[in-house]
Amino acid sequence: MRFKTKEFLTECWRWLCNQDHQWDTHGDFVEWASESQPEVDYGAINTYLTKIDSSKPWSESNARIVNIHEEWQMNLVLAGSYKFRQEIYE
């Protein structure tokens, strides 16, 4: 797992601890993300953890990681999302 992805997942977990979610542990969350979600893309404008259905708790079937490269992709980011604040390194 790349460093940025690990940092993103750690920040998401800290944020999820104050949300209604169905992962038992940080390890379960990381395992879900590692097996079924894309890594943080260094070329993305930003990366989000987003809910699919805002009326249900966060879960494996109700969350996804979205890398935004262009403005039109913002429609992939739904309500209740966590925005990762990527730093640009030059």
40-50 pLDDT, tens per residue? 998 888 898 99
The answer, yes or no, to whether residue 90 has pLDDT greater than 50, is no
The answer, yes or no, to whether residue 18 has pLDDT greater than 60, is yes
Query: pTM of the prediction?
Result: 0.81
DSSP 26-82: HHHHHHHHHHHSPPPPTTSSEEEEEESSTTS-B-TTSEEEEEE-SGGGGGG--TTPE
List the domain boundaries for the chain.
3-84
39-84 pLDDT, tens per residue? 999 888 889 899 998 899 999 999 999 998 877 667 667 666 767 7
